Amino acid sequence: MRILVYRFEIKKSSEIKTYGEEIMSNITVCVRFRPLTSKEKPHSDDSVCIRCIDSETFIFKDEKDEESMFSFDKVFYEKSEQADVYQFLALPIVRDAANAINGTIITYGQTGAGKTYSMEGPGILECDEQKKGLLPRVVKELFDSINLSEEDMTYSIKLSMVEIYMEKVRDLFDLSKDNLQINESKSRGIFLPGVTEVSCFSKNFISQFIIITLAFRSYFAVYN
Determine contact, residues 178/190, Cβ cutoff 8 Å: no
Q: Is 123 annotated as a binding residue?
A: no
Q: Is 194 annotated as a binding residue?
A: no
- Taking CA atoms, 189 is separated from 46, 49, 105, 159, 174, in Å, by 47, 41, 17, 17, 23
Determine contact, residues 15/99, Cβ cutoff 8 Å: yes
Q: Is 41 annotated as a binding residue?
A: no
Q: Is 114 annotated as a binding residue?
A: yes
Cα–Cα distance measured from residue 137 to residue 124, given in angstroms and rounded to the nearest whole number: 10
CB burial readout 78-95, b (16+ within 10 A) else e:
eebebeebbebbbbebbe
Q: Is 113 annotated as a binding residue?
A: yes
Q: Is 112 annotated as a binding residue?
A: yes
Name the 3-class secondary structure at 132: coil
Q: Is 115 annotated as a binding residue?
A: yes
Q: Is 107 annotated as a binding residue?
A: no
- Write out the binding residues: 109-116
- Write out the binding residues for ATP: 109-116
